[in-house]
Structure formats: structure tokens, C-alpha cells
Amino acid sequence: MTSRYRSSKPSEDLNSLTPRRRTVVKAAAATAVLAGPLAATLPARAVDQAPAFLHGVASGDPLPDGVLLWTRVTPVPEAIPGSGLGPDTEVSWIVARDKAFSTVVAKGSTTATAASDHTVKADIRGLEPGTDYWFRFSAGGTDSPAARTRTAPAADAAVTNLRFGVVSCANWEAGYFSSYRHLAARGDLDAWLHLGDYVYEYGTGEYGTRGTVVRPHAPAHEIVTLADYRVRHARYKTDPDLQALHAAAPVVAIWDDHEFANDAWSGGAENHTEGAEGAWSARQAAAKQAYFEWMPVRPAIAGTTYRRLRFGKLADLSLLDLRSLRSQQVKVGGGEVDDPDRTLTGRAQLDWLKAGLKASDTTWRLVGNSVMVSPFAIGSLSADLLKPLAKLLGLPQEGLALNTDQWDGYTDDRREILAHLRSNAIRNTVFLTGDIHMAWANDVPVDAGTYPLSPSAATEFVVTSVTSDNLDDIVKVPQGTVSAVASPVIRAANRHVHWVDTDRHGYGVLDITAERAQMDYYVLSDRTKRDATATWARSYRTRSGTQKIERVHAPI
């Protein structure tokens, strides 16, 4: 190190996430197969210049006095992601108050090694709160692109406004990441939240794309080994729109299931075949290791992603891990969703969430939540809409009103947290959610069956997918036509739902003041077009103290 600042090192928990020996052997064997195709997909400088920063730079998890910086260096041409090849390489970093780097406030260096896939993290401290900074990395005379980041406000700061981009569910093969480009172009974000499914595990053509693979995955097969997960993360990090957003503002990310495998739970996943695809424990460990290598996220308790960030007196953000600790999903109609021995969060995480919400002295309590907390009933949909909606939501096609992968499948946990909010008079709790590939604006009722005669304990903003198939894609009809029919029926059966858009792709912008929390929903013109435009669709807000959502007729 060349200063008093120190880069972060993997925790003992992360070091324990090494895959079993047979997985390592399989990964090594796969390297020769992957090397040619993957190298061909990298920018030209990967094969004619080294070292190089081919996967961009990023920052994340802002604190009042610091932020986590990230990059990946390619030290020599053969050191492609997942290969395990390439020499140890010194990587330096520099942080300044200006883009010209004339006022340097921190600098240092660390070593990138094949053991961490030549990824680098530097946990910078000693910065000023609520301040923009610029940073870059260097190796062997090559500089990375420069990027902007921002620290969180001081814990006791009287913050007047916060603004966050909000996204989830980005299937590489289904289209381009225009949502990221439009968020990056705003230039006004304190941070952006990724609520899960940052990457997808499927092989080429195995997951929804309206029947057309816009751009193929790397590797082409379903990812199972550590090398596989590394290659897939690397593929995503070559996207120019994703690189632009990472360079524009710090990210606050949680994982959902596809960072592992579809409908993952603590002991397995729907899209995992024990034995044929190795042991789930090895696959989960490989996925977690690659995630923490490739994402600017601080590992939290025992290698989970649940943690809490604070943004002055205006808001704190509790981030959940709803995959690592959950019980297995039950079959719809099995009668086990109310079993108090089953859990979505795990006992320790639920107690942590309850304690944090109760102790909070901020105006707003935000909860980064990967699956929808609001209850959902299908109601009386026509057969031609019911079957694709059931497929999207993971429901049986006969239409039983339950998605057991969401909080609906773990009702005891939900009852406990909502009762806690009510009994302790905890106000201004807002769940921010992804996963479902639709946009929703919901009250979160204590008793959905009697709502609105019974109270709402919180509110929920659900953002749609960046690219992943939603209802019109599954039905293969023009965008918006299904939502026009399905949305009124869904709302009639779910009186706490103020709005649902089943069809469009896009992103959200959450704007918070002491008086209200407002979500502006934006939609893309065409996910398959690299130059897709973005248009404002709707805005909803919850006023301080109300626990209810109302429509707003203009974005912030």
C-alpha cells in the first residue's frame, strides 16, 4: 500500500466458499473449451494489449466516510475470466475530488491474482460525507476509465432529498440494457439499487426471449462451476450500458435466485439436478464466490447479502438475502405456507430486520426486497391470459392464487414483520422489490381479505425487468395489449394494488423527501434495440405517515 488507506480483503467466510475438488477439476477442464469462444467476444485490445481493464470499473455500498471500489484487470491476453491463468499483477487506485484528478484525496495499491479471477476491491475510508468523488485504477502503465462515485450523507445530516435508480432482472440474451444507459445519463443519482437477477444462469436459448436470442450468453451452457459463474459475470460486465451506469454512481445490490439457479433455496433449486450437476453446496459456494469477486458488494453475515446502509436522517436501507436461508418452496395447495417452522428470511435475519426497523430514527425505512411482499390473488382471468400469467408467476395453470416463491409462500414470516410494524407504530416503511418482471404500486395490508377496511402496514414499489420476459413476451402479442385486459382484473381481486403493468420493460427512479417517497416508472421502446428510448409511464408516492400509495401525474 502507498497510503494509510487499505483495500479490502476477502473475509474468512468468503475464503471458505471454495468449491469441492471435483468442481475445480471440472472448471479447469472447461477452461480450454471456453478460452477460444470467450476470447473472441472480448474487445480487440484483449488480444493485442495487456494489461487492460476490459470490464469497466464500479463502486458500491456507499458509507458516510467511504465507498467500495471495484475493477477487473486482464494482465496478459490468456488471462481471460474463469481461466485461472495469468500472473499476479499490482493494481493501483486513486481517488480525487475532480474528474481531472488534480485534487487527490486517497491512493493505494493491491495485488490482483488468479485466485480472485484478477478482480480487485478497494474499501476506501477517510472520505467526506455526501460528496462526489472520481476514481480510476492503473496497472502496468495502463489506466482504467475514470468513474464517479458518491459517499452517503453523515449519519446525523438533515438531508433534504435522495434519488436512487431502481432495477432488476436483466437477461442478457433477451435484449440490450438500455435501462442502464438512461439511468447513467441522468447524472443526478445518489446511488442505484439492483434488486436481484443481475445475471442469469441458463444456457443459450433456455430462458425467455420471445423465441429470439438477441445476443448469446458466454458460456453457452448453463453455468454450474466457479469458472462458469466467473465467465457469465464477465460477459455481463462487457456491456457498455452497464459499464456506463457503474461509472456514473455507486450501486447497492442484493442477489435473488438467478445469481445461483432458478427458485433457489438454502438446500437446492428448481433448476439444479443434484448429482448430475454436482452438489448444490458446491454450486452455491461457486456462485457466491464469483458474485463477491465480480460485484462491488461488501460480504455481510456469513457470506449473505443482508446488511444496512444509512443516508443521513432521511432514510436507512435494510437489504435482504431471501435465498441463502429460506426453507424450500412448497407446492401450491399443499397447506404448508402457514407453517411457522418454515422461513423465508431465517430467524436471525428476521430478528435483525425487526430490530433495525424499530430502532431506526430516520424519516423513511426502505427495505431492499427481492420478491414481492404484498399478497397476490389471480381472480377471474380468462384462460388465454391465465396460463401465461401462471407460468410467469410460477403458479399452476389451474390458477390457484399463490406464488410460493414470494412472501405468499412464507406467510408466518410476513405476518410477524407486519405485526411488528403495527404493534410498534413503525411508520414510513417502503419495500423496494424486483423479481416479478412487472411494475406494481401496492399498499401492504395486514389483512388483504378485508382491505381497505383493515389497515396497511407499509407500501411497496415493484420495478419491472430490464429485459427478462414479461407477460406480453410470453403470450407473444404487441406490448401493452395484455396489461390493458389483465390489470383491471388483477386490481379488482387485489384491492391493495393501485397499479400493475404486466407488459413493459424499464426501470424506476425513487425520489425521497421528508414529506413523501415517490417512484417514477419508465418504460423502454424496444428491449431488442440497442438505441431504445425511455418514456415516463406512471408515478406513485406515499406521503409520510400514511402507509398508503397515491398516484402522481408527473415525474420528479
For the chain, the first-to-last Cα distance in angstroms comes to 44
Contact between 327 and 343 under an 8 Å Cβ cutoff? The reply is yes
Question: For the chain (length 556 residues), average pLDDT per consecutive 10?
Answer: 33 32 33 44 53 97 98 97 97 98 98 98 97 98 97 98 98 98 98 98 90 94 98 98 98 98 97 97 98 93 91 98 96 76 96 98 98 84 65 52 83 96 98 96 93 95 96 82 84 93 96 98 97 98 98 96
Instruction: Dig out the grid coordinates for 162 from the structure.
Output: 435522495
**pLDDT given for residue 145 in this prediction:** 97
| pLDDT of amino acid 384 | 64
* 379: in domain: yes
Q: Where are the beta strands (DSSP E) in 235-363?
A: 251-253, 264-265, 268-269, 307-311, 315-319
Q: Amino acid letter at 518?
A: Q
User: 535: left (phi > 0), else alpha (psi -120 to 50), else beta?
Assistant: beta
Please indicate, yes or no, if residue 290 is contained in any of the structural domains: no
User: Which amino acid, residue 428?
Assistant: N
d(CA 184, CA 179): 9
For 175, left (φ over 0), alpha (ψ -120 to 50), or beta? Answer: left
Compute the distance between CA of residue 287 and CA of residue 19 in angstroms, rounded to an integer. Answer: 10
Answer whether residue 274 is part of any domain: no
Q: What distance lies between CA 220 and its chain's CA centroid? A: 23
C-alpha 133: how far from chain center? 24
Query: What's the domain range around 458?
Result: 325-507
> Smallest Cα–Cα separation from 402: which of 419, 414, 390?
390
Residue 80 inside a domain? The answer is no
Contact indicator for 389, 378 with CB cutoff of 8 Å = yes
Alpha-helix runs per DSSP H in 156-315: 178-186, 226-236, 240-246, 280-294
Distance between CA atoms of residues 299 and 320, nearest Å: 12
Residue 128 counted as domain residue: no
pTM equals 0.89
CA dihedral 349, 351, 354, 359 (to 10 degrees): -110
Position 490 scores a pLDDT of 86
Q: Is residue 261 part of a domain?
A: no
DSSP 19-34: PPHHHHHHHHHHHHHH
- C-alpha 339: how far from its chain's center? 29
Residue 386's pLDDT is 64
Cell matching residue 402? 399463490
Is 334 within the bounds of a domain? Answer: yes
Q: Pick the closest to residue 234 from 397, 89, 467, 226 (CA basis).
A: 226
Give the torsion sign (CA, 493, 498, 502, 503). positive
Instruction: Provide the domain count of the chain.
Output: 1
474: domain CATH number is: 3.60.21.70
Judge whether 490 lies within some domain: yes
Closest by CA position to 311, among listed 513, 448, 457: 513
